[in-house]
Structure 1
Amino acid sequence: MTRCRAWLYTIICFALAGLVTGCWDGVELQRRAVVLMMAIDPAPDHPDWVVVSVQIARPQRAQPPSTGGSGSTSGGNKEDRPIAVVSREGRDVAEALQTIQLAINRVLFFGHLQALVIHEQVARRGLAAVLNPVAQSRVVRRQIWMFVSRERAEQVVNALPVLDVIPGMHFTNLFRNQIILRRQYDATIGGFRQRLVTPGVEPYLLGIDGMDPRLSAPRIVGLAVFADDRLVGWLPGDDYVGWALADSQFPRLDLTIPCPHGHGQFVVNVTRVRSRLRVMNPDAPRPKAVLHVHVHGMIEGGPCVQKEREADIQVLSRQVQQVLAKIIGQSIQKAQHLGTDVFGIGRQVYRMHPSAWHGDAAWRQTFPRLRVIVQVTTRLDYMQTYRQSALLYVDHEG
């Protein structure tokens, strides 16, 4: 009986082994073209076409770059570069990628894609159709960075960094150091598509402008903001800072604040930001929202920071409140002028007042009329002292 059972188990194992298909669609590594970065630019001769550029790794050339006295990479010969960039144009991204595939002797593989750079002109047309060939791929990670470039996006994938032999990893690591976002997923391809289908909130991407010649990397200049899937404008500089404070996006940031009496500046190291939003009377002709932002940080120093008396700390706290309230209010006004609710105020209406929610199209008409009251509180530390300031109410009308 035991022998019969052993034979039965053996037959079952052989039968199950025959059902295992293995890697039926696998491709040998030597036949893969590993894409690290991709750029999408408008075609110069066809206004509605695109030029797609892919940065392909060349592992056999991945050696530490030699640098001259000026710090520039000496590997100017294309044969010595650790990457190869192939560009083709087409009526859409899918056609351009197909043309690239026919032009090389390896199979394009996007499993190691690190970043996607899109030219401003292409983003203004709309990104839903542009992203489909990439986003629908089963091997593309949803956490890849997306950027909107004011300059030619092909310049980014063609740049060879000084400090790393793998450009895609160099750029993504540099971006992580530069980007002060707590929810970094929102600036990726997955976050963009998620915000695109979430009621009451508009998507955004990080904006870059030109290349920093010292690091051979693009400069981040702020937010590229969208209405639906179309780029409508930018939130640079203080507008970007105001948005980030309102959206609780700063886990750590140094802010430069002018001294109360106009003599120099002092620095506040922000360690935590917490915001709370409340919408009232969303069905009114001009609805109102109250945005409360609490900033916790430390006063690090400056010409107006000389004593640790309580009165002096209170003066500096009020100055921080006034400056941050103004920055946040101006950022909201800029978004209202552009007609894009990247702050997610409409999302609060959708969640808390469902009967007053009439869809994204209706909210885009209401958002510019919204009256936002900004409330700022600060909790600042300095030289072993600990003080909490009072509320400051600033009414910013859109």
Structure 2
Amino acid sequence: MKRCMIVLLILSPILTGCWDKRELNELGITLAIGIDKVEDEYQVTAQVVVPSEIPTKTSTGRSPVILFKEKGETVYEALRKITKISPRKIYPGHLRMLVLGEDLAEEGIAKSLDFLSRDWELRSDFFVAIAKDGTAEEVLNVRTTIESIPANKMFNSLQTSEHYWAATNGIKLDEFIASLTSDGKEAVLTGILVTGDQEIGSTKQNIESINPPARIVYDELAVFKKDKLVGWLTERESRGYNGIVNEVQNSVIAISCPKEGKATIEIIKVDSKMKGKINKGKPEVDVNIKVKGNVGEVECQINLNELDTIVELEKITEKKMEETINLAIESLQKQYKSDIFGFGEAIHRSNPKEWKKMKAQWDEEFAEMTANVKVDVELKHTGTEGNSFLEKIEVE
């Protein structure tokens, strides 16, 4: 025992040392990276924190981040060339957002991701998004309110949106690469774009107005075939996709009341299960979705104290959700022939031999296959009110 203690005491200074020690003031802490394709080169834009401007008593009010950009034949080369203009080495160990330009995505993004997938400095907990209708540089060049560091705004907005709305999807790099390399499933990424006046967006004026002239917003899901962007889902189709792949955490859905008017159902839990099968030699998938929700808003004359009314609202919600999900499936089958749902994976799990025969022509098989969608909704609560107070007053 004494010998063990002596050995540990001798080795402890060595074991606790860092083999690649670097001081914090030698690194440019990078929270967002953008990659665009400019002619035949990659352009890398790095959003680097300005330490003196992180909210403190000594802040001067200048921008808390600075952008550096360079071009290179590879992403790694462009990133290293930034040292020509940056006083510190770009350090991506705290990266929160990776934004890829739409032109790059249409051309193919696999090569541009290789460096990021193998860099030991990078953690895997950052989101990846596509700059819709623009470039990654444009997205990273907008100053934001509430969250003074734009990368934090983008990260937190995507987390919030996927949790409460269900039309976006926060996808991390390792998840995206897993979809790119999967047999029987294509990849998706959330779109991000700049709205309003981009020129003002990069100035202090953008954060001095109650209604900023330029904003960064998330918008729909990008559809891939292999590593190439082939199109975009609508917001409704994006919600349908997330319902199928069990990525709905919380959301709301507006429905028509039995006679007239509207009601809003809050979705509080979704459990989606997918099962593949071969029916008469053809692939088929059953998608069963169990939903729990609450009555969130009533703008019509209905009696919520009656069980029949709740059952009717459940059926209306089921029908609307099934229509939304089937719309997403039809769009992917007819317009893009891209199996982003993982139906091929479901067939592979259920019948590996049959999958082996059809995977080479899965695009065609997917386009013609049958997907049986069944949604079962259970409404749990009606809120603090029973029937709406609207029935007590005359509302046009």
Counterpart in 1 of 2:230?
A: 232
Of 27, 31, 34, 1:32 maps to 27
In the aligned structure 1, how far is the partner of 2:16 from the partner of 2:312? 73
Q: Report the equivalent of 1:268.
A: 265
Indicate which of 354, 357, 368 corresponds to 2:355: 357
Partner Cα separation in structure 2 for residue 236 and residue 119 of structure 1: 19
The AA in structure 1 aligned to 2:107 is R
Residues 72-99 of structure 1 deviation map (CA, whole Å, 9 limit, x = unaligned)? xx95xxxx21111011122231221122
Q: Is the 8 A contact 1:156 1:211 kept in 2?
A: no
Q: How does 1:1-398 map to 2 (within 5 A)?
A: 16=11, 22-43=17-38, 46=39, 48-63=40-55, 80-150=62-132, 151-180=134-163, 187-211=171-195, 214=211, 217-261=215-259, 263-281=260-278, 284=281, 286-304=282-300, 306-308=302-304, 309-336=306-333, 337-358=335-356, 360-383=359-382
Per the normalisation by structure 2, the TM-score is 0.82
The verdict on how the C-alpha distance between 1:84 and 1:355 changes in structure 2, with shifts beyond 3 A counting, is same
How far is 1:222 from its partner? 1.7
1:360 Cα deviation after fit: 4.8
Q: CA RMSD in A?
A: 3.0
Kindly state the Cα deviation for residue 343 of structure 1 after the two structures are TM-superposed.
Answer: 1.0
Q: CA deviation at 1:9?
A: 8.8
CA distance in 1, matches of 2:194, 2:97: 16
Amino acid across the alignment from 1:106:
R
Q: TM-score, normalised by structure 1?
A: 0.82
Task: For residue 201 of structure 1, report the CA deviation from its aligned partner.
Answer: 1.5
Counterpart for residue 389 of structure 1? none
CA deviation map 1:377-396 (0-9, x unaligned): 111134489xxxxxxxxxxx
- Distance in 1 between residues matched to 2:275 and 2:5, nearest whole Å: 66
Question: Conserved in 1, the CA contact under 8 Å of 2:250 and 2:266?
Answer: yes
The one-letter code of the counterpart of 2:131 is S
Equivalent pairs, count: 362
Could you tell me how far 1:20 is from its partner in structure 2? 6.0
Give the Cα separation in 1 of the matches to 2:274 and 2:12.
59
User: Is the 1:203–1:342 contact (alpha carbons within 8 Å) kept by the matching residues of 2?
Assistant: yes
Q: Using the TM superposition, name which of 317-326 and 13-22 deviates more.
A: 13-22
Q: Which structure 1 segments of 5+ residues have no match? A: 66-73, 386-398
Alpha-carbon deviation of 1:13? 7.6
C-alpha displacement of 1:305: 5.1
1:357 match: secondary structure: helix
What is the distance in 1 between the residues matched to 2:271 and 2:15?
53
Letter paired with 1:318:
K
Identity %: 25
Q: 1: distance between equivalents of 2:93 and 2:261?
A: 50
Structure 2 gaps of 5+ residues are 197-205, 385-396
Rate the CA distance shift 1:22–1:298 in 2: closer, same or farther, 3 A.
closer
Q: Is the 8 A contact 2:169 2:190 kept in 1?
A: no
- d(CA) in 2 for partners of 1:377, 1:16: 61
User: Aligned pair in 2 of structure 1 residues 21, 293: CA closer, same or farther (>3 Å)?
Assistant: closer
Question: Distance between the aligned counterparts of 1:88 and 1:338, measured in 2?
Answer: 34
1:118 and 1:296 map into 2 onto residues whose CA distance is 36
Question: 1:300: how far off?
Answer: 2.2
Aligned to 1:302, the other structure's residue is in SS state: strand
Paired letter, 2:191? G
